[in-house]
């Protein structure tokens, strides 16, 4: 019984010493300069004028939209137009509204006549 206890203690000591040695080796051979510099107080500026203080690896941040001005959070309609796509869509919508629609009634009557 005593022998088993002594062997267990020896194994425990061996395991702890191995862990200690591995930590020591990893500390000694740790790589330097692999992490970017962290800026704890960076001002993130939005296009709407809101400024937020965040932590980042970038020295300064500028964003186009934030929670202050995003339609989902603000509840107001704001269209983020890129390359005039929205303008083109509005023009097409106006043109479509002005031109009279081809009525489906004619088609229905035609098919009704065919059926007769």
Residue 48 sits in the site that holds Zn ion (CB under 5 A): yes
User: Closest CB to Zn ion among 22 and 74?
Assistant: 74
The single residue among 68, 81, 85, 92 that binds Zn ion, judged by CB under 5 A, is: 68
User: Closest CB to Zn ion among 36 and 75?
Assistant: 75
Residue 61 sits in the site that holds Zn ion (CB under 5 A): no
Residues comprising the chain, all counted: 116
- Residue 68 Cβ, how far from Zn ion at the closest point, in Å? 4
Stretch that binds Zn ion, among 29-37, 45-53, 76-84, 103-111 (CB under 5 A): 45-53
Compose the 1-40 pattern: x for residues touching Zn ion by CB under 5 A, - for all others: ----------------------------------------
Q: How far is CA 80 from the centre of its chain?
A: 18
Tell me how far apart the alpha carbons of residues 81 and 64 are, in angstroms, rounded to a whole number.
11
DSSP secondary structure, 22-72, as one string? HHHHHHHTPPSS-SPP-EEEEEEEETTS-EEEEEESSS-EEES--TTT-HH
Residue 74 sits in the site that holds Zn ion (CB under 5 A): no
Contact predicate 46/61, CB 8 Å: no
Q: What is the DSSP letter of 76?
A: S
Binding interface with Zn ion (CB under 5 A): 46, 48, 50, 66, 68-69
């Amino acid at each position: 019984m005593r022998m088993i206890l002594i062997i267990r203690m020896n194994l425990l000591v061996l395991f702890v010493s191995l862990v200690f040695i591995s930590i020591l080796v990893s500390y000694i051979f740790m790589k330097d300069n692999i992490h970017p510099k962290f800026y704890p107080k960076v001002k993130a500026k939005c296009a709407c004028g809101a400024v937020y203080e965040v932590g980042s690896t970038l020295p300064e941040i500028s964003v186009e939209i934030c929670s202050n001005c995003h339609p989902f959070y603000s509840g107001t309609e704001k269209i983020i137009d890129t390359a005039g796509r929205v303008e083109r869509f509005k023009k097409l919508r106006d043109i479509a509204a002005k031109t009279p629609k081809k009525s489906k009634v004619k088609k229905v009557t035609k098919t009704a006549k065919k059926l007769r």
